[in-house]
Amino acid sequence: MLHIYNTLTKKKEEFIPLDPPNVKMYMCGPTVYDYFHIGNARSFIMADILRRYLIYKGFKVTFAMNLTDIDDKIIKKSIEEKIDTIAVTQKYINAFMEDVIKLKIKRADIYPKATEHIEDIINMIRTLQNKGLAYNKNGNVFYNVSKYEQYGKLSGKNLDELESGSRIEVNEEKENPLDFALWKKAKEGEPFWESPWGKGRPGWHIECSAMSCKHFGETFDIHAGGNDLIFPHHENEIAQSEGANSKPFVKYWVHFGFLNINDEKMSKSLGNFFTAREVLNRYSAEVIRMFFAQAYYRGPLNFSDDLLSSAEKGLEKINNLVFRINNELVNPKQGTNPDFNIEYYRQSFEKAMDEDLNTSQAVAVIFDFVRDVNRIIAENKALDNSFFLFIKEFLTATAEEVLGILSFDTDQISSSIEKELIDLIITIRIDAKKQKNFSLADKIRDDLKTLGIILEDSPNGTTFKKVT
């Protein structure tokens, strides 16, 4: 039985969907004004692993990830780049989809966009206003948090203790500094929609409430996101949705820990971040997923090249067995079929994952499995084809389909080998530069360029990109 930590109840609970075996899962997606950073990728990947494991367990998962395509940051970017907001959002939606595919994250069943749900948003705001939970001030509509008695139940924050601070917009139109915008009056030159309160656009929080309820109904199973969204975003979603519908909003709230650099949260506002595509230039998706899977999903995790390199070396041990299995199955043989209790590893894997998605222990089970299989291979001169099929089935179901840390696809394996070879050549070039052998370093750079591989030197190291 799967147990998962529920942020709402502050305890681990057995996962029982509202309508078994169906599961409705909503994940807060990106605001599409820039490339998402590797800290965002941690939440996206861990949500992907949860979704994959639910499927492994036999649940039928419908997964939605929203795309925030109207926001202050998008408007600012459109002004900076001198293009309209639609061009900005389409550019970064395309980039998001590219990076998601590269990270081996399964595509969502639904990608709702805020701009496609304006009518739903307006209807929810109107309901809140009719119930006395929202008020209009000169075309700006605010949620009155003092009217919602359970405000703070997700984050554990007390209304009396909350003060207007750096994360709360100060606005003289608000009746309470903690009140938040549901509808924003359009400023000169901004995109807008017609509404009962005049021309304007939705606030960030109401978008997720309206979109999730539109697609999943008034109550659904799982809402996931990063820890930084607990307050105020998810707290406000609850206030809006439950205030409008008078029903519980979400049964299980699942949150993922921060990715830190030098023990400080990675974020665009602090400028201490790497984009996911920058990291993908240096490490494979499998290495990145292994790096995240080896840590507890709720806790903080420090990002460093040393830790990623360690994950890469660990993955090599698994991939060596994958190469061996593929080679054996290409040239099947008859031989010994040793007694190997694969069910023990399957149960151990499931036990780890059932205990609040303990991926680090699940990875440890995979390593134990690989070690013991290698021992059997070493002890037997000829093994039957059925043994390797048996081994492949387990690794496919667990390490590939659930964790996404390996692939039996020969094209992907070749791509991984190619990357390792290029990285090796880059290391040789770096050593040549250290020894002041600049002619060799330049030759390596130029020869790679003729092969369509461009090296890019920076203070953070050397990366490469392929051109056609």
Whether residue 154 is predicted with pLDDT greater than 80 in this model: the reply is yes
Checking if the pLDDT of 306 tops 70, the result is yes
Q: Count other Cβ atoms within 10 Å, centred on residue 307.
A: 14
pLDDT in tens, 360-410: 999 999 999 999 999 999 998 889 999 999 999 999 999 999 999 999 885
Question: What is the tens place of the pLDDT at every residue in 95-134?
Answer: 999 999 999 999 999 999 999 999 999 999 999 999 999 9
Task: Answer yes or no: pTM beyond 0.85.
Answer: yes
Compare 442 and 29 and report the one with higher pLDDT.
Answer: 29
| The predicted structure's pLDDT at residue 165 | 44
Cβ distance 405 to 318 under 8 Å? yes
Residue predicted with more confidence, 147 or 266: 147
Please tell me the predicted confidence (pLDDT) of residue 436.
86
Judge whether residue 315 has pLDDT over 50: yes
DSSP string, 70-133: SSHHHHHHHHHHTS-HHHHHHHHHHHHHHHHHHTTPPPPSB--BGGG-HHHHHHHHHHHHHTTS
- What is the amino acid identity at position 290? M
pLDDT digits (tens, 9 = 90+) for 214-262: 999 999 999 999 999 999 999 999 999 999 999 999 999 999 999 998 7
Quote the pLDDT of residue 92. Answer: 96
- Cα 253 from Cα 255, distance rounded (Å): 7
Name every residue whose Cβ is closer than 8 Å to that of residue 185 and which is 6 or more positions away in sequence: 138, 139, 140, 197, 198, 199, 200
Helix intervals (H) in 396-437: 410-434
pLDDT band at 460 (very low <50, low <70, confident <90, very high): low
CB contact at 8 A, 288 and 37: no
On the question of pLDDT at 28 being above 70, the answer is: yes
> What is the rounded CA–CA span in Å between residue 280 and residue 253?
29
The pLDDT score that the predictor gives to residue 170 is: 58
Q: Looking at this protein, which amino acid is placed at residue 105?
A: I
Domains in the chain and their CATH numbers?
3-256 (3.40.50.620), 304-408 (1.20.120.640), 411-466 (no CATH)
pLDDT for res 296: 97
Contacts of 415 (CB under 8 A, 6+ apart): none
Rounded average pLDDT over 23-43: 96
Average pLDDT of the residues of the chain: 91
Q: Which residue, among 107, 99, 112, 141, has the nearest Cα to 124 in the 3D structure?
A: 141
* Res 333: pLDDT: 81
Nearest to 13 by CA among 351, 297, 254, 363: 254
Residue 358 CB neighbours (<10 A): 16
Contact 218, 260 (CB under 8 A): no
Query: What per-residue confidence (pLDDT) applies to 426?
Result: 84
Instruction: Give the pLDDT mean for 345-351.
Output: 98
**pLDDT band with cut points at 50, 70 and 90 for residue 166:** very low
**Confidence label for 164 from pLDDT (cuts 50, 70 and 90):** very low
pLDDT at 280: 94
Bridging pattern class, strands 220-226 and 301-302: unpaired
- Mean per-residue pLDDT for 64-90? 94
147: which 2 tokens? 């009217």
- pLDDT (mean) for 148-174: 76
- Is residue 213 scored above 90 in pLDDT? yes
Structural contact between residues 266 and 40, judged by C-beta atoms closer than 8 angstroms: no
**Res. 411 pLDDT band, cuts 50 70 90:** low
Exposure string of 379-394, with b = 16+ CB inside 10 Å and e = fewer, is eeeebbeebbeebbeb
The DSSP H or E segment spanning 394 is: helix 385-395
Q: What order of strands is seen across the sheet that includes strand 250-256?
A: 60-65, 22-27, 220-226, 250-256
